[in-house]
Amino acid sequence: MATTCVKRAFKYRFCPTDAQAAELSRTFGCVRKVYNMALAARTQAWARQERVNYNQTSALLTAWKKTEELAYLNEVSSVPLQQCLRHLQTAFTHFFAKRAKYPRFKSRKKSRKSAECTTSGFRFCDGRLTLAKMPEPLEIVWSRPLPEGAKPSTVTVSQDAAGRWFVSLLCEDPGVKPLPATDSAVGVDVGLNHLLTLSTGEKVANPRHERKDRARLARAQRNLAKRAKGDGANRAKARRKVAKIHARITDRRRDHLHKLTTRLVRENQTIVIEDLTVRNMVKNRKLARAISDAAWSQFRSMLEYKAAWYGRQVIAVDRWFPSSRLCSVCGTLQEKMPLHVRTWTCDCGATHDRDVNAAKNLLAVGLTASACGDGVRPQRRTPSGQSSAKQEPQRATAGLPRP
């Protein structure tokens, strides 16, 4: 049975010439203009209870290019313009499927500057990438090699708020294969004092990347606040300085999470985590900054896609599972346990570290539910006070009382 190769995006920095930078900036502007015009057309049709699909917006783009007002759209490559219409179609597909909100217009100042090209919009040969409408190849900093014989199917050029230029090449990577199966499993409890606590007792310190650069960021933001909006180059320079500090924080955080998740996936066959609603947790004004800096959602996302690549399993335990209040030795459930209690002693005499105990409980209930084929959500009561028949096997699997 033939196995399909995993497609991976390899992202690199590059240094464009002045002509290339001007052409790419022009392309970004045209992509944003076409996207906004197509979104406006679809919104107007939606108000008339009509639907406009990708083919109709593509026909509109052809008509726009023929007008005198929008003739400049012919000066850039047509491939990124068509791709932005496909992205808009995808956004509406998610909206109609109730997976996302209604698409929003792109902003010249706030939206991400990017342009995507398919195989007809670039040429890649002998490690040299040349985009359409550009006679010279891009000067890419090859920080890591592409897979041998790689043929990019999509190239995305972007510029971040700090002014850095990136190119992302989507290729098939034959090197991504399932790892040899092991018997090891681990429960992972995320936190703020320690970023991760494993069921083995190991604790991973929280680097707190944002806190380390908080003073520098505050100075840069104060300097930016003093610049009037019409200050021109001085305000742009101050804005870029703030963006560079944010980019430094983001890069360090991402690098640390990549190393952690890669290690967990390589060493364990099964990884059990808690299904946290970070979106609601950041509403806590006292902890929002620390929770955002910990990036729990990004950690879970990396863990899940790497597990899918390498043949591992990630189990998410329901957020209402009382992992901290449950004794991992005798199963006694404590009634209350405030956050300031980090160590506690059960009636059976076992003394627990709060986070290690939670990780052990997550591992136990995750493996039990996975083995029985049921979920890991604890039993809930219906409004009538009767247990739901659908939820009863899940409680039997977990073997736990209501939290």
With beta carbons less than 8 A apart as the criterion, state whether 321 and 280 touch: no
Smallest CA-to-CA distance from 377 within 321, 313, 314, 315 is with: 321
- Residues paired with residue 316 on neighbouring β-strands, in sequence order: 273
How large is the C-alpha radius of gyration of the chain? 26
Structural contact between residues 348 and 327, judged by C-beta atoms closer than 8 angstroms: yes
Nearest 5°: CA angle at 338, between 391 and 328? 55
Burial label, 394 (beta-carbon count in 10 A; 0-12, 13-18, 19+): buried
> The tokens of 182 are what?
């092991």
Q: What is the DSSP letter of 342?
A: -
Helix (H) or strand (E) holding 196: strand 194-198
Catalytic center residues: 189, 274, 355
Alpha helix ranges (H) inside 140-232: 209-212, 214-225
Residues 6+ apart with CB under 8 A from 281: 287, 291
Angle 9-11-13 from CA coordinates, rounded to 5°: 165
> What is the rounded distance in angstroms from the CA atom of residue 102 to the CA atom of residue 315?
31
d(CA 77, CA 155): 13
Do the Cβ atoms of 197 and 352 come closer than 8 Å? no
